[in-house]
Amino acid sequence: MFGLIMVFLILAAQYERWSLPLAVLLAVPFALFGALASVMIRGMPNDIYFQIGLVVLVGLSAKNAILIIEFAAQKQKQGMSSIEAALMAAKQRFRPIVMTSLAFILGVFPLVIASGAGAAARRSMGTGVFGGMLVSTFIATIFIPMFFTWLSRDKRKSADADTSTKGPHQNPPLKNEDQS
């Protein structure tokens, strides 16, 4: 829990908003679900090694979300709507996310099938991280752009809404230099 709070506060400082870190942290439950499901399927206990693997998953699933959110936030600052920015970020960041995540998943696979002395600890950690990263990579990356769209403030839409609610008679007249 402390790790999630620290990730949230660091991201809030980075983005200078309170809402976008929530979009990043909403990717974490997908990883946790995948880890818990994979450990339950294999009939393993929720031990300390599995819990250390959960800490790893929080960082890795947040990293994947940050790649999409950061790119989308940059595109939104350049003038794109939040939906366009989120879709472009998801398209352009999907391949790097899948490549790094699959490299990690394949690197963890020997822990899943470990044997010998201490194999129970390695299997427990490996199974949780393996399942959590699979779900986080292939399911959470679909939802992260939606979370960004929901939680980002689209400045163009709010500016259009402000001008559409005010009539021309409500705006103050512009001062002309010839009149002064």
How confident is the model over 15-39, as pLDDT tens digits?
A: 788 888 888 889 899 999 999 999 9
- Give the Cα separation of 55 and 77 in Å (integer): 32
Return the HEC string of the chain. Answer: CHHHHHHHHHHHHHHCCCCHHHHHHCCHHHHHHHHHHHHHHCCCCCCHHHHHHHHHHHHHHHHHHHHHHHHHHHHHHCCCCHHHHHHHHHHHHHHHHHHHHHHHHHHHHHHHCCCCCCHHHHHHHHHHHHHHHHHHHHHHHHHHHHHHHHHCCCHHHHHHHHHHHCCCCCCCCCCCCCCC
The answer to pTM > 0.85 is no
CATH superfamily of 25-153: Multidrug efflux transporter AcrB transmembrane domain (1.20.1640.10)
Are 112 and 121 in contact, with CB atoms under 8 Å apart? no
Are 37 and 131 in contact, with CB atoms under 8 Å apart? yes
Q: What is the pLDDT of residues 72-129, one digit of tens each?
A: 999 999 999 999 999 999 999 999 999 999 999 999 999 999 998 989 899 999 999 9
